[in-house]
C-alpha cells in the first residue's frame, strides 16, 4: 500500500491509493447496467450510496446492520485495501445492477462513463462545506496523509492549490458539470443541499432517472429514516472498513457560515466565480 502523496496526470493523491489502482479505475470495464456514483470527497457520497442501496436492493439491506458491507454493495474503485483494489472488489460484486463509486475527476474517472454513456449519479456540494469536512477527515484519519496535521488555514490553502486527495474541487466540478449537462439522459446531478432540503423530491428524481417504480411516500419516509445521520452513523460504526473513520460527521448544510475564516470565504468564492463565470450554478456553490 502506497501511503506517500503522489501526483498522477495532474491530480493529487494522499492515502491508500496507488498509481496502479488509479490507472485500473480509469481503464475499468464494467457492465452495461452498472450505475456510477461520482463525487468529490466529503460531498455526501456515502449518504447517496446508502440511499441507492435502499432503492435498488431493498430497505431490508439497510435494516440489517450486522451483515452490511459497503464494498460488497457499492465498490470504491480507486482504493487499495492491502493487496486488493476497489476494481477487484467491483468484479466480485454479485448484485445487479452494480453500484460503483469513484472520487476521480473526469480525466481519471472510468473512461467508459464517457465513451459508453454509463448511468452516472454525480453529487455536488458547496466546496466550502466539502473542504471543511475534508479537513476534519484528514485530522481524524492519519493514514490519509504524509504531512503534519494541517491547520484549517493550511488545509484550505492546499485545497485552493489542488494539493489534497483528488486534487482541486474546481477542476473536479467544472468538467463533471459540463458533461452532466451535455448528457442528461445518462447523468443525474444531485446537490447535497437539495437532498437536505427536500429529500422526497430528490428521491423522485432518482427514481425517474433509474427507471424505478415510484415508492409510496411511506417508503420514502422509511428510506429517509434509514439513511439519516444517526442511522448511518450506527450502521457504519459496525462496518469493518468504515468504523472509526468519521465518514458520517455532522451532516449539516452551510456549516462554513460559522466555521470558515472570512478570508477563505473570499478566496473560495473568487475561484468559484472564476471557474463558472456567470453560470447560475454559482449560487449553489458560494
Ligand atoms: P460533514 O463532515 O460536513 O458532516 P462523503 O460520504 O462524500 O465522504 O461525505 C461526508 C459528508 O456527508 C460529511 O459531512 C457527513 O457528515 C455527511 N453525511 C453523511 N451521511 C449523511 C446523512 N445521512 N445526512 C446528511 N449528511 C450526511
**Nearest Cα residue to atom 10 of ligand 1:** 42
Any bridge partners for residue 50, and if so which?
Answer: none
pLDDT (tens digit per residue) in 167-208? 999 999 999 999 999 999 999 999 999 999 999 999 999 999
Q: For residues 116 and 100, give the distance between their C-alpha atoms in angstroms, rounded to a whole number.
A: 15
Please list every protein residue whose CB sits less than 6 Å from any atom of ligand 1: 39, 41-47, 129, 133, 136, 227-229, 232, 247-251, 255
Please state whether beta strands 99-102 and 74-76 pair in parallel, antiparallel, or not at all (unpaired).
Answer: parallel
User: Ligand 1: which atom is nearest the Cα of residue 40?
Assistant: 7
Kindly give the number of the ligand 1 atom that is closest to the alpha carbon of 232: 23
Q: Is 75 strand, coil or helix?
A: strand
**What span, in angstroms and rounded, lies between the C-alpha atoms of 81 and 241?**
9
| Probe target for ligand 1 pocket from 227, 251, 253, 258, with the most ligand atoms within 8 Å of CB | 251
Cα 173 to Cα 194: distance, rounded to the nearest angstrom = 17
CA of 42 to the centre of ligand 1 (A): 6
Query: Coil, strand or helix: which one is 149?
Result: coil
Say how many Å lie between the CA of residue 229 and the centre of ligand 1.
8
- Domains of the chain and CATH, by start: 4-285 (3.40.50.300)
Read off φ and ψ for residue 249, nearest 5 degrees: -115, -115
Instruction: Report how far ligand 1's centroid is from the alpha carbon of 172 (Å).
Output: 19
Beta bridge partners of 39: 123
Residue of 247, 258, 260 with the most ligand 1 atoms within 8 Å of its CB, for mutation: 247
Residue pLDDT tens, the chain, 286 long: 445 789 999 999 998 899 999 999 999 999 999 999 999 999 999 999 999 999 999 999 999 989 899 999 999 999 998 889 999 999 999 999 999 999 999 999 999 999 999 999 999 999 999 999 999 999 999 888 777 778 999 999 999 999 999 999 999 999 999 999 999 999 999 999 999 999 999 999 999 999 999 999 999 999 999 999 999 999 999 998 899 899 999 999 999 999 999 999 999 999 999 999 999 999 999 9
Report residue 259 as a C-alpha cell: 466555521
Q: What distance in angstroms lies between residue 89's CA and the mean position of ligand 1's atoms? A: 23
Say how far apart CA 39 and CA 41 lie, in whole Å. Answer: 6
| Contact between 28 and 88 (Cβ < 8 Å) | no
CA of 118 to the centre of ligand 1 (A): 25
Ligand 1 atom showing the smallest separation from residue 41 Cα: 7
Exposed/middle/buried for residue 83 (C-beta within 10 Å: 0-12, 13-18, 19+): exposed
pTM score above 0.75: yes
Distance 128 CA to ligand 1 centre (A): 14
Amino acid at each position: 500500500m502506497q501511503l506517500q502523496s503522489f501526483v498522477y496526470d495532474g491530480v493529487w493523491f494522499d492515502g491508500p491509493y496507488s498509481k496502479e489502482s488509479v490507472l485500473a479505475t480509469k481503464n475499468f470495464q464494467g457492465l452495461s447496467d452498472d450505475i456510477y456514483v461520482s463525487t468529490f470527497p466529503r460531498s455526501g457520497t456515502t449518504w447517496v450510496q446508502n440511499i441507492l442501496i435502499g432503492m435498488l436492493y431493498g430497505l431490508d439491506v439497510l435494516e440489517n446492520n450486522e451483515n452490511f458491507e459497503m464494498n460488497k454493495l457499492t465498490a470504491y474503485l480507486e482504493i487499495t485495501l492491502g493487496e486488493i483494489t476497489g476494481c477487484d472488489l467491483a468484479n466480485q460484486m454479485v448484485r445487479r445492477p452494480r453500484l460503483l463509486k469513484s472520487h476521480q475527476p473526469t480525466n481519471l474517472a472510468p473512461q467508459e462513463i464517457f465513451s459508453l454513456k454509463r448511468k452516472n449519479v454525480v453529487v455536488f456540494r458547496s466546496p466550502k462545506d466539502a473542504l471543511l469536512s475534508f479537513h476534519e477527515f484528514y485530522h481524524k484519519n492519519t493514514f490519509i496523509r504524509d504531512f503534519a496535521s494541517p491547520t484549517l488555514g493550511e488545509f484550505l490553502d492546499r485545497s485552493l492549490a489542488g494539493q489534497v486527495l483528488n486534487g482541486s474541487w474546481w477542476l473536479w466540478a467544472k468538467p463533471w458539470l459540463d458533461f452532466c449537462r451535455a448528457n442528461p439522459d445518462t447523468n443525474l446531478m444531485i446537490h447535497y443541499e437539495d437532498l437536505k432540503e427536500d429529500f422526497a423530491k430528490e428521491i423522485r428524481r432518482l427514481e425517474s432517472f433509474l427507471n424505478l417504480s415510484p415508492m409510496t411516500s411511506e417508503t420514502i419516509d422509511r428510506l429517509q429514516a434509514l439513511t439519516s445521520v444517526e442511522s448511518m452513523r450506527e450502521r457504519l460504526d459496525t462496518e469493518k472498513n468504515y468504523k472509526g473513520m468519521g465518514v458520517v460527521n455532522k451532516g449539516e448544510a452551510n456549516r462554513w457560515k460559522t466555521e470558515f475564516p472570512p478570508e477563505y470565504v473570499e478566496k473560495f468564492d473568487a475561484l468559484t466565480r472564476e471557474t463558472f463565470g456567470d453560470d447560475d450554478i454559482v449560487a449553489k456553490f458560494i
